[in-house]
Chain A
Amino acid sequence: GESVGLHLPTLSVQEGDNSIINCAYSNSASDYFIWYKQESGKGPQFIIDIRSNMDKRQGQRVTVLLNKTVKHLSLQIAATQPGDSAVYFCAEKLTGGSYIPTFGRGTSLIVHP
């Protein structure tokens, strides 16, 4: 299933399915993007990042896609597991601006066994 991110803050999937979490960013001057995972009772954890000169980057079971034309970022999680249940935040950094990331609205991912 897909989440439209800002308009659907909760995504429910079955264990083993692929998950897609979306994020729309507003600043075309952003040149670096990060996805964070925040489990209940914990701080955000870095998952994967991507620079604006790339359109895809893969990690272990996760892929980030960047579409600069429509200012859209997505996080794909393959074979989603119950341990993936968390809130996922995208964050962006501005070109030449502060090195501190600006967090977007989160999406809650719920994985059903």
Chain B
Amino acid sequence: DAKTTQPPSMDCAEGRAANLPCNHSTISGNEYVYWYRQIHSQGPQYIIHGLKNNETNEMASLIITEDRKSSTLILPHATLRDTAVYYCIVRLPHGSGNTGKLIFGQGTTLQVKP
């Protein structure tokens, strides 16, 4: 079973920040938080990941709470092309007998509106 909880859907106005929440209250100390998105009819696309610290890249920012039980993915200026299903996943790193596999939950369908 997926170890994360996300709202099933969210709307965001184009040009505004999209804040997608994720609960992972049972996360273990060495599990990372990953975010992927799936645009209709395409394979999932990696966005960002983090362990404890907040992370930022060219696509998004990831804010992880101090207790690591929840996180928020921030798309700073959402565009229509950001309309997709966003998946929050906790993952053990590859190695030490771990395959690094991803287990997907149901995700959040983000609809960016003009």
Real complex partners, A and B? no
Taking Cβ atoms with an 8 Å cutoff, the residues of A that contact B are none
